[in-house]
A and B are shown apart, each in its own frame.
Chain A
Amino acid sequence: GAVVSQHPSWVICKSGTSVKIECRSLDFQATTMFWYRQFPKQSLMLMATSNEGSKATYEQGVEKDKFLINHASLTLSTLTVTSAHPEDSSFYICSANKKGKGHNEQFFGPGTRLTVL
């Protein structure tokens, strides 16, 4: 199988604090992980591509100083929302690339719901 976990599954924080979300590939190594954001009743929007051992690549309009991504190992990527504000409240989903025969596949984590008060 290919399982991706996220921790925490939900978090509530005060405005101005920072929150770290972990994404782990449990049974495979992922050189590339992705972070998505989903607003209520909307689709997933790719925020950034996280590559192990190098800097993340951010999509246009995503503040890299606001959303810090670290891909410290082949099984772990973290997203830190710095100085969170209520408008950062959202559902954050990560995915990880698993190498396969002839092509790779993406497997999604269960998501983390962030609420900023």
Chain B
Amino acid sequence: AQSVTQPDIHITVSEGASLELRCNYSYGATPYLFWYVQSPGQGLQLLLKYFSGDTLVQGIKGFEAEFKRSQSSFNLRKPSVHWSDAAEYFCAVGGYNFNKFYFGSGTKLNVKP
């Protein structure tokens, strides 16, 4: 069965510190992987995506993610967090043509000054 797991519900980091948000997936075919960010009351903004090729993908706002097929993971990283990064982050997986799109439960990021 297809699923996405984000094991961390809440994460708090200090401003300027590094960040890693975990994402594990289960998918029966070649996965297309995504990270989205959602601010309170807002829609989703795409941070980055992985379709194929280089397993380390760069996104907007200084985020990057690494696809590790052997671990079924697609963790999101940022070397130095800014206060404006405080939001909820969702990992998602879809197949070719994205007829089904599965979201993780989300990780809420708090940033300490």
- The total of Cβ contacts below 8 Å across the A-B interface reads 47
One of B36, B42, B51, B90 near A103 (C-beta < 8 A): B51
Q: A104 with B97: in contact, given A109-B43, A110-B42, A110-B43 (CB under 8 Å)? A: yes
Residue of B with least CB distance to A44: B103
Interface residues in B69-113 (C-beta closer than 8 Å to A)? 90, 94, 96-106
Bound form: Cα–Cα A111–B40 in Å: 11
DSSP class of A's interface residues: helix, strand, loop or mixed? strand
Q: Does A25 sit within 8 A of B, measured CB to CB?
A: no
Interface size, chain B (Cβ < 8 Å): 22
Q: Do residues B100 and A46 form an inter-chain contact, with CB atoms below 8 A? A: yes
Q: Which residues of B have CB within 8 Å of A43? A: 90, 103-106
**Is the pair B98, A104 in contact by a Cβ cutoff of 8 Å?**
yes
Q: Is A106 among interface residues, defined by CB-CB distance under 8 A?
A: yes
**CB–CB A103/B99 < 8 A:** no
CB pair A111–B97 under 8 Å, yes or no, is no
A residues with CB within 8 A of B: 6, 32, 34, 42-46, 49, 91, 93, 95, 97, 103-106, 108-111, 113
User: Which residues of B approach A to under 8 Å, CB–CB?
Assistant: 32, 36, 41-44, 46, 49, 51, 90, 94, 96-106
Other than the given A43-B104, A44-B44, A111-B43, 4 more pairs (CB < 8 A) read A44-B103, A45-B103, A46-B101, A49-B99
Query: Lowest 3 CB-CB distances: which A-B pairs, in order?
Result: A110-B43, A111-B43, A108-B44
